Amino acid sequence: VGAWTGLSFGAGVRHIGSTSDYGMLVTGNLGEVVTPSFTLFDAMVAYETKDWRWQLTGTNLEDEYHVVTCTTRGDCGVGQGRTIITSFTHKF
């Protein structure tokens, strides 16, 4: 209604539980490597008219350091930090 027409908001929470990898450790022994769980918060705001759309999206808003996975080989993957993206779209 009025100036609020075309405005939209969104938010989300992503929770990834802990994971385990079983196998031969770098030490040569059989074992388990546990990657801890983590929770990330995301949000979006957008404004849209008949001809165009502007959107601002933020992921991992708390900039939480998180490990996505670890293996018994000893390598780990680190998750992406805070990311802010904006876009303008023209509709034809």
Over the stretch 49-75, which tens digit does the pLDDT of each residue have?
Answer: 999 999 999 999 999 999 998 888 888
With pLDDT > 90 as the criterion, what percentage of the chain qualifies? 72
3-state secondary structure (DSSP) of residue 23: strand
With beta carbons less than 8 A apart as the criterion, state whether 13 and 39 touch. yes
End-to-end CA distance of the chain: 25
pTM of the complete model: 0.81
Closest among 87, 78, 76 to 44, alpha carbons compared: 87
